Amino acid sequence: MPLENGYLLNQRYRILDILGQGGMGAVYRAMDENLEISVAIKENAFSSEDYARQFEREAKVLASLRHPNLPRVFDTFMVDPQLQYLVMDYIEGEDLRQWINRHEEISEYEALQIGIEICNALIYLHSRTPAITHRDIKPGNIKITPHGEVILVDFGLVKVMDGKDITTTAARAMTPGYSPPEQYGDSPTEQRSDIFSLGATLYAALAGYLPEDSLSRATGKAQLTPLKSYNPKISNITTETIEKALELRFEDRWQTAVDFKAALLAAREQIPPELQLSDRIISATKDGSQNGQDTTNEIQQGKPIRNLYSMFRNKGFDSVWIIFGVVIIVLLGLLGTALFWPEGMQAMFQGGVTRTPTVTSFWNQEQTQETSTPTPLSIEVQPSQTVEQNSVVAQITNNTINSPTPVGGGSGVLAYVSEMSGIPQIWLLNVTNRESSQLTDIEDGACQPDWSPDGSKIVFTSPCSGVNQLYPRSSLYIMDIENEEIQALPASFEGDFDPDWSPDGRWIAYTRLINEQMQIFKIDVNNLETIRLSDGYYNDFDPDWSNDSTRLIFVRERGYQQIWIMDGVGLNPVQFTLSGAINNSNPIWYLEKDLILFTQELGLRSPSRQVFGMRLEDIGKDEEYALIEGNYQNYIPLSDHVDVSTDGIWLAFDFWYHDVLSDIYIMTFPGANLHQLTVFPGEDYDPVWRP
């Protein structure tokens, strides 16, 4: 008897509804009342002790699986001697059969892409030690999520193969049309059995009809109808690839999922470029492959680079607002000129100075570096080293800016990372008087600084070798700026990094490595209690708190890295950007402008990056716009790690222009008054404004 809705299974899982039922059990959707997430529960019935022992052994193997094309199995149990349960991720979306029925058709490109994604899952399963076969691949067990991910589900019938001792006691599913002939008898099934079933699934998707049953074919009662008889538009290479997978003899099929995938990729490459398009299916792996078999080319082509000026124009701002915006930008430009170039401003009104549209440096490019007695900054830091920038033009560095509000608001100070000594260390820069001072001097390096809300402390990551996505075996530290005391936060075994201090001062959100997976945690600054916010489904990293400390924006990796938003307690994750086959990173809130700012690659896996912005109202749309300084609309500068000043006017970021190395620049939003702040030897990056 199936379980009723509302039943509490194993004192933890509240049954919500039944997803499917067969002769050997059922599949339920349930609520995990401990974690408060939806799960899928597969029920299997058995009647032998051998089967029970095998289930227990194989369940432990399944629980160790981690792959983007597979659901995660995270609990197994028995409630009586004849019922076993597997608890796994509940995958939103439709199965392939429902998906095709709703869309009424599937293109050759989409079918091949689905086959490639399932091959990725099979390559992973078949390469485990011991190897794992699925044994029930069919359209009903392939889910297409609302975001276009392809997931192979239903692990209730998997088999673990351990050397020559191939067990045959597990339940066998015989689905006419999809099962290979060996699955009907006592012959052992193995990885080539999964290849047959996937071939049958792709055949049915493109033909609209099931292939003839393998048992009928093996006994001579039927022959396989050529795929092109049903769908003449399918290319010969696709037809041959799929029909080879449907051969009756093991030896005549593709011998491995790697081989089958390579053939599907080759078939996909023969499709005309104008037909190699789909916004309904995406790749769930970065390179579209596993185990080094990279023959996928997912580089984004022809994606227009839009800028923030275009965003305001495209959002329907009329001419009055455009004129108003231009006036504001001009006034901000004059303010910036008065702050950074007072003698030029004076000469301008006297009618004698014309500025050229080039990047403005606060210091001459021919500077010298010398060690001197530290000059206290306005934040009264006694630095361990001070670098004075000597200039020979216009006595720029000798001018003191008398302004009631320093540039950027607050104290007008930036913390940033510099590699001038060869090892990343955190430095402070007083934007008003242009003095830099070294803050940390840690042998293993320090990076990723972030300020406490009162500006008295900095949290940072160490060890640090440079700009990376992962910082294995790193820890978080808090430094008191006034007395330079350093406090180590509780560390994990694999690594903690990406710290972000909440505006209310209570929490530090950060990324933690768990079994080589990135997950977001937060730690209470007062009692050092740590709380996990990520659900363990995907790689989540690089969190940033909203101004009211109630939400977090972060990066989630689901094939590609996209920006997501969730509650400050880890609930209700929602995808923000939908940029396709491209990676986004380093998000921050810019609520003064109703924006999220982030970094986007200029091409898939490209080292070149640029800061983009997107309105909160455009959540879930492809509506991002490049943030480019106004004088360089015809040139694509590279930028990263943007941060918004406390007064909401200035943006600080890494910037590459003519120099090979990155330096710290600032400009006013949305792209004016660009100024270079550092010209040190070595990379300078990751600036953050002091509150």
Q: What's the pLDDT tens digit per position in 41-54?
A: 988 877 667 777 77
CA 34 → CA 11, 12, 37, distances in Å?
A: 10, 7, 8
Round to whole Å and give the CA distance between 664 and 414.
10
Helices (H), 208-256: 214-218, 227-230, 236-245
pLDDT at site 564: 95
Judge if 94-275 and 308-689 fold alike in CATH terms. no
381 vs 96, more confident: 96
pLDDT at site 335: 60
> How does pLDDT run across 284-306, given as a tens digit for each residue?
654 444 333 333 333 233 344 45
Cβ neighbours of residue 42 closer than 8 Å, sequence gap 6 or more: 25, 27, 85, 86, 88, 154, 155, 156
**Mean pLDDT score across all residues of the chain:** 79
Residue 30 is inside which H or E element, if any? strand 25-32
Categorize the per-residue pLDDT at 665 as very low, low, confident or very high, splitting at 50, 70 and 90: very high
| pLDDT value at 504 more than 70 | yes
pLDDT at site 14: 95
Contact in structure between 654 and 687 (CB atoms under 8 Å): yes
CATH 2.120.10.30 fits 308-689, yes or no: yes
CATH 1.20.950.20 fits 8-89, yes or no: no
Phi, psi of 111 (to 5 degrees): -65, -45
| pLDDT value at 407 more than 80 | yes
When pLDDT is averaged across residues 542-552 and rounded to a whole number, the result is: 95
Domain ranges of the chain: 8-89, 94-275, 308-689
pLDDT at site 173: 52
What homologous superfamily does CATH list for 94-275? Transferase(Phosphotransferase) domain 1 (1.10.510.10)
Of 224, 223, 227, 232, the closest CA to residue 205 belongs to 227
Round to whole Å and give the CA distance between 354 and 684.
31
Contact in structure between 278 and 107 (CB atoms under 8 Å): yes
Beta-bridge partners for 489? none
Residue 658, burial from CB neighbour count under 10 angstroms (0-12, 13-18, 19+): exposed
pTM above 0.75, yes or no: no
Give the chain's radius of gyration (CA, Å): 30
pLDDT at site 326: 53
> How does pLDDT run across 396-405, given as a tens digit for each residue?
233 333 345 6
Categorize the per-residue pLDDT at 380 as very low, low, confident or very high, splitting at 50, 70 and 90: very low
Tokens found for residue 593: 């402008």
Pseudo-torsion of CA 524, 526, 528, 531, nearest 10°? -20
pLDDT at site 460: 98
pLDDT at site 337: 52
pLDDT at site 635: 63
